[in-house]
């Protein structure tokens, strides 16, 4: 997803004139974003956007407001952090989803680390989109384990197929063993990942459940990660 596609998807919002005016105002008066960002849900509605699957009008409108700010790097990250910390869950979701579309570089990584500790699965899933390429390996592995623990589907984790490594396999195996010892459910996608990593890295697969049949194994090793920039797709 990118800002241009979100603009197209928002054509049918209830108060498009308000949205256009808000975008124009934020572009020349960045200090006005806080109030307009909070109003977006009321003025644009919360309907699902058919042209942007997985997006609602309020979240998309807030991402667009962030995208027109005449800021970059640390200055932009500070605005996003304030909106995140003082916003409700949907305002926080928009801030996280916007990161991959903004020229913020690694400046918002502290916010991402905070979001990865969230108890809300929507925020955790959003935090592990494309911008999570900026997370260091240790923080990223912990976030993946948190997904397993909180029931966030691993399909939400950007770069999982190439970034998962032997250390994640070790951590995941210990986590799965503890869950089974406590008689707790282990998500099927976590078991499938653990079997794949065992095959790739020669680690021990968990006993008691067969590997997922017909699953193609990714190549061993790790691919280079390219952090997102302005205008890149977002998951």
The 10s digit of each residue's pLDDT in 174-199 is 999 998 988 888 899 999 998 888 88
* Average pLDDT, integer, range 122-137: 96
DSSP string, 115-172: HHT-S-HHHHHHHTSGGGGGS-HHHHHHHHHHHHHHT--GGGSTTHHHH--HHHHHHH
**pLDDT value at 233 more than 60:** no
Q: What percent of the chain has pLDDT above 70?
A: 86
Q: What percent of the chain has pLDDT above 90?
A: 74
Spatial distance between the Cα atoms of 57 and 2, rounded to a whole number of angstroms: 14
Q: Which residues pair with 56 in a beta bridge?
A: 48
Q: What is the CA radius of gyration of the chain?
A: 20
More confident residue, 233 or 170: 170
**pLDDT value at 202 more than 80:** no
The pLDDT of residue 207: 55
How much is the pTM?
0.82
Closest to 187 in 3D by CA, of 105, 133, 130, 121: 121
CB 16 within 8 A of CB 10: yes
Spatial distance between the Cα atoms of 96 and 61, rounded to a whole number of angstroms: 13
The pLDDT of residue 198: 84
The 10s digit of each residue's pLDDT in 12-67 is 898 999 999 999 999 999 999 999 999 999 999 999 999 999 999 999 999 999 99
């Amino acid at each position: 997803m990118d800002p241009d596609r979100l603009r197209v998807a928002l054509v049918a919002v209830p108060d498009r004139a308000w949205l256009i005016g808000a975008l124009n105002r934020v572009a020349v008066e960045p200090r006005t974003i806080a109030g307009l960002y909070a109003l977006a849900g009321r003025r644009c509605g919360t309907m699902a956007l058919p042209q942007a699957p997985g997006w609602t009008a309020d979240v998309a409108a807030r991402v667009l407001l962030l995208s027109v700010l005449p800021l970059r790097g640390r200055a932009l990250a500070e605005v996003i952090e304030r909106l995140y910390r003082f916003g409700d869950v949907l305002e926080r979701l928009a801030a996280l989803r916007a990161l991959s579309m903004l020229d913020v570089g690694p400046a918002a990584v502290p916010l991402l680390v905070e979001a990865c500790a969230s108890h809300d699965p929507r925020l955790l899933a959003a935090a592990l989109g494309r911008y999570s390429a900026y997370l260091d390996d240790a923080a990223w592995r912990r976030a993946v384990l948190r997904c397993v623990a909180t029931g966030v589907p691993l399909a939400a984790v950007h770069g999982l197929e190439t970034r998962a490594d032997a250390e994640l396999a070790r951590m995941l195996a210990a986590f799965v063993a503890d869950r089974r010892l406590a008689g707790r459910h282990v998500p099927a996608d976590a078991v499938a990942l653990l079997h794949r990593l065992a095959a790739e890295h020669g680690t021990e697969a968990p006993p008691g459940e067969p590997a997922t049949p017909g699953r193609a194994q990714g190549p061993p090793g790790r691919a280079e990660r390219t952090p997102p920039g302005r205008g890149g797709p977002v998951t």
